[in-house]
Amino acid sequence: MEKVGRLAEPVARYFFRELIKGIKQCHRNHVAHRDIKPENLIITEYFNVKLIDFGTAKFIEDSIGDGFHTDKVGTESYMAPEVHLKQPYRGESADLFAAAVILFSMVSGHYPFEKATQFDKNYRCIAQKRPDIFWKSHCQNKAEGFYSENLKDLITQML
């Protein structure tokens, strides 16, 4: 994304589906990646997306005994809020949260927020169930319909 900038929504949708396939495969094998970010994705010559760098990955069951993890790992911009808060979290949910941040970034060319904490005004809108304000903030200086309603709904639900 650094080299090409933002992607048109149909192109981002394709790569996002590829990313979700990889995440689904990890979760099917009971592995949570826990550091999903663009730098940990490669695109093959056939435009398949592959997850790499499993240095922070853990077996989903390899946690505190109930499927939850407690260690703070990952990259701050992609971390789920419960990871920032050092609360027990499900690795699968943290992976999907990071995927939502990536999808937003692919389409918009920038992050949806700096960090998913109460101190970030954009994330606070999501946490307070005010996605209308979140999207209004991100739609400033963009053409009408820049973000499709389906895209906004998907990202909002995942965050």
pLDDT in tens, 104-132: 999 999 999 999 999 999 999 999 999 99
Burial degree of 16 (CB within 10 A; 0-12, 13-18, 19+): buried
Q: Find all residues with CB under 8 Å of 154, minimum gap 6, and list them.
A: 100, 103
52: left (phi over 0), alpha (psi -120 to 50) or beta: beta
pLDDT at 62: 65
Tens digit of each residue's pLDDT (9 = 90 or more) over 70-99: 999 999 999 999 999 999 999 999 999 999
Instruction: Reply yes or no on whether 35 is catalytic.
Output: yes
Residue 96 phi/psi, 5-degree rounding, is -70, -35
Nearest to 43 by CA among 16, 77, 79, 74: 16
In this prediction, residue 65 has a pLDDT band, given cuts at 50, 70 and 90, of low
CA torsion sign, 31 to 33 to 38 to 39? Answer: negative
pLDDT at 3: 75
For the chain, domain boundaries:
9-117
Tens digit of each residue's pLDDT (9 = 90 or more) over 12-57: 999 999 999 999 999 999 999 999 999 999 999 999 999 999 999 9
Q: According to CATH, what is the number of the domain 9-117?
A: 1.10.510.10
